[in-house]
Amino acid sequence: MLLVRYQALSFVLASALAAVSHAQTGEGELDALAERLIQARAQVEELQSELDIQREEHKGKMAYLSAQITELEANQEREELRIRQLEQELDKLRTDAEAAGVDADSLQPTVLAVAGNLRTVVEQSLPFKRQDRLSELDEIVTQMEAGVNTPQRAVNRLWAFVEDELRISRENAIYSQTIELSGQPVLADVAKLGSVALYFRTRDDRYGMAQPLADGWSWAVVEGAAEQEQIANLFDALRKQIRQGYFELPNALPALTASQY
């Protein structure tokens, strides 16, 4: 719209200059035309200034969006690396189980090492039912060490655990879990988008998302009505089994400072 106005005024200015050069007018008409030219020029300069400002604002927004896209791509690469690590652990379990045969004493250290690696992966991933997943790992190790299950049985359970991790890393769905808001545990519905983003809705209609921090993850409530509606629309779509498509959602990444882009 600003560019159209600018072009229109430029046309008026050019027409007026042409009229001065060619029209045979009286002195009064020339004065009026000169006044119109002055006004038109002032408006052109004002619009040029506004256009320059808008160009700079657009340039800044594009730089910010580019930085955010780069961060999202890096986040996706980290999650893909996590999936590859899980697949490698699965392959290691298969190889070690085949090599160990029925020798429980040689297999148990492998089970402990793999369980420890898996614990690290879970602790660094999205905070989706994290305590349940860690508890399952602890149970596998505890039962093996107590003699309730053999190392071979523990290998089978770890194998199933890795397959579950791979499945949920690709899944878009709604679950219920306890999250922490303002230091208090709160039961909420969570919308998990693969292994990239996690949004929540509490029973008292607070909306928000999991955000990565330097030392882990935190749950942040969104205050804007537009962002709340975006998350509500996501929950509605997933509830209706709409698991693919275009969704506009609040940015789950921390805000970048000017120095970061």
Non-local (6+) Cβ contacts of 19 within 8 A are 33
Tokens of 126: 């999205």
Q: Mark 170-184 as b/e (b = at least 16 C-beta within 10 Å).
A: eebeeeebebebeee
Percentage of residues in the chain having pLDDT higher than 70: 75
Judge whether residue 231 has pLDDT over 90: yes
Judge whether residue 200 has pLDDT over 90: yes
What is the rounded distance in angstroms from the CA atom of residue 234 to the CA atom of residue 72? Answer: 19
What is the rounded distance in angstroms from the CA atom of residue 232 to the CA atom of residue 225? Answer: 10
Judge whether residue 165 has pLDDT over 80: yes
Written as one letter, the residue type at 183 is G
**What angle is formed at CA 16 by the lines to CA 24 and CA 8, rounded to 5 degrees?**
155
